Amino acid sequence: LRYLRKPKVTLLANELDSLASCLVKAGKTDEALAKYGEAVALLQEGGFGKNLELAKRVVVIGSLLNTMARYEEALGRLEEGWAIYLLNTGEFPHTLAVARLYEEIGDVKCTLGSTSAAIEDYHSAIDVFKRSGNVDEDLVIQKVVRKISDLVDP
């Protein structure tokens, strides 16, 4: 693997991602999870370090674990992905992906019973959604505010 050039490693990782995506669509989530894991391992072994390519794939694994109701594992992967984003984008990234990541971390924490931590993540999601300049930000923010309201006033 260390003899492969980085573009080839990226191509192989992208192929694994495509295969994993097809497996998800076919309902084969365990197999998909394994393929996404292979893509992450390939990037790590290929000397890519903790870059955004790795962060995206780690977050996808976390999201998939979340859909599989493996919440503790999902939270670990989502927070790992967030930490990698933070290393690469600085303290205040303004992307929709990061806002959605905050929201999903909040959802998982809520499911695990960490209500106050979930509310903090939802507030962070709202802040990032506002800074992102997204056309649909009001609808998204309203959805997240409803989640907070449901937690505060069930």
Query: Average pLDDT, stretch 57-70?
Result: 96
Cα separation of 13 and 107, whole Å? Answer: 28
Interval 114-128: pLDDT, tens: 999 999 999 998 888
Question: Residue 68: its pLDDT value, please?
Answer: 96
Cα separations in angstroms, 44 against 19, 23, 36, 41, 78: 19, 23, 12, 5, 17
Share of the chain above pLDDT 70, in %: 90
Mean pLDDT taken over the chain: 87
- Residue 146's pLDDT is 87
pLDDT of residue 94: 67
pLDDT score of 92 more than 60: no
Task: Give the pair of three-digit tokens for residue 43.
Answer: 């990037």
Residue with tokens 């992967």: 77
Q: How far apart are CA 14 and CA 31, in angstroms?
A: 16
Residue 103 has pLDDT above 90, yes or no: yes
pLDDT at 152: 82
Mean pLDDT, range 93-119, rounded to an integer: 90
